[in-house]
Structure 1
Amino acid sequence: MDRHEIEGHEVIDGTAKATGNGAHVLVPKRWRGADVKVIRTTEPDE
């Protein structure tokens, strides 16, 4: 696993859920319009 350092304001822990041909992660509504980064920390389950 690689190590990355990111400066930010808040962290949430979630699971990517299937959506159409992709996946999504829900974040708080108050994050609308903010720049966010998503980092995969485990191998996906097939």
Structure 2
Amino acid sequence: FIYNIYIMAAIVNRIIYIFNMQAAFLIRQSSLHTIIVNALNTAGVVALY
């Protein structure tokens, strides 16, 4: 019974770990996307002037 709890805890920890990794990846992706959009907008404004 205690062994089963240990296995469940390990599985839950793994799921949380994977979820956190994916969340961090998505945050990095979105911040990179924001940087690229800002750079393009800045380039567009400079091109207008």
Task: Judge same fold: TM > 0.5, yes or no.
Answer: no
Normalising by structure 1, report the TM-score: 0.14
Q: Which has the higher contact order (CA 8 A, sep 6+)?
A: 1
Normalising by structure 2, report the TM-score: 0.14
Q: Which structure has the highest helix share of the two?
A: 2
Q: Which structure has the highest strand share of the two?
A: 1
